[in-house]
């Protein structure tokens, strides 16, 4: 677990500290291996590799995804494409939610909604997702996406998302399509 690029559980307090503290968030993961399973799942998201996004922080119920600016990620005006802003928001929320799911379950995005507040420009984007409610079947999350420019953070987008807990469907299983169809 020392190879994880994000804070492992023992150092997660620093994340929680930034976001309000473990005592404040009140989230305790039902999966003792949540950090490893989230990182493993993220690593298998080829689309995150394609755009250069990485998982930079994780704690029970919260997750941060960072995306350095690249010219090939832009829309017609030279800003990061709104769809790519949505991609990292979807992942940050999804893994915040996955961290609160029990062992043996996998995660599926039901829907998300994103408001763009400012153009996505700067050195990098940072998406911070957090769980609002972790239910048995559904997990509701929110995300803020910031653009970092000259060291200052600016809010560029906000998202609300609904996730589904797919029980008894290991995240690494191969026949996920049939499973997703069946449960959803």
Q: What residue ranges bind its own copies (CB under 8 A)? A: 41-42, 44-51, 71-84, 86-91, 106, 108-119, 121, 132-133, 135-138, 140, 142, 155, 158, 160, 162, 164, 171-174, 176-177, 180-184
Nearer to its own copies, 56 or 91 (CB): 91
Measuring CA to CA, how many Å separate 68 from each of 62, 64, 117, 149, 161? 20, 13, 19, 11, 23
Least distance CB 40 / its own copies (angstroms):
8
User: Residue 115 CB, nearest distance to its own copies (Å)?
Assistant: 4
Interacting residues of 93 by C-beta distance below 8 A, sequence separation 6+? 63, 112, 129, 141, 142, 143, 159, 161, 163
Residue 8 or 132 having the CB closest to its own copies: 132
Q: Please report where in the chains the tokens 């559980």 appear, as a residue.
A: 9
Cβ-based nearer residue to its own copies, 29 or 141? 141
3-class secondary structure for 21-77? CHHHHCCCCCCCCHHHHHHHHHHCCHHHHHHCCEEEEEECCEEEEEEECCHHHECCC
Closest distance to its own copies from the beta carbon of 10 (Å): 25
Of 11 and 113, nearer to its own copies (C-beta) is 113
- Cα distances (angstroms) measured from residue 28 to each of 22, 34, 101, 105, 112: 9, 10, 10, 16, 24
Least distance in angstroms from the C-beta of 60 to its own copies: 18
Smallest gap from residue 159 Cβ to its own copies (A): 8
Q: Which of residues 10 and 47 has its CB atom nearest to its own copies in the complex?
A: 47
């Amino acid at each position: 677990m020392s190879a994880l690029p994000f804070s492992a559980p023992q150092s997660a307090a620093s994340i929680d500290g930034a976001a309000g503290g473990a005592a404040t968030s009140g989230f305790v993961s039902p999966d003792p291996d949540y950090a490893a399973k989230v990182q493993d799942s993220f690593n298998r998201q080829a689309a995150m590799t394609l755009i250069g996004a990485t998982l930079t922080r994780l704690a029970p119920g919260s997750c941060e995804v960072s995306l350095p600016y690249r010219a090939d990620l832009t829309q017609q005006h030279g800003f990061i494409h709104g769809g790519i802003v949505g991609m990292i928001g979807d992942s940050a929320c999804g893994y915040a939610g996955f961290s609160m799911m029990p062992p043996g379950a996998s995660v599926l995005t039901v829907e998300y909604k994103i408001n763009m507040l400012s153009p996505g420009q700067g050195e990098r984007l940072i998406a911070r997702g957090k769980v609002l409610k972790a239910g048995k079947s559904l997990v509701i999350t929110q995300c803020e996406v910031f653009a970092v420019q000259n060291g200052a953070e600016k809010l560029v987008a906000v998202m609300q998302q609904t996730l589904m807990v797919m029980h008894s469907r290991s995240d690494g299983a191969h026949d996920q399509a049939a499973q997703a169809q069946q449960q959803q």
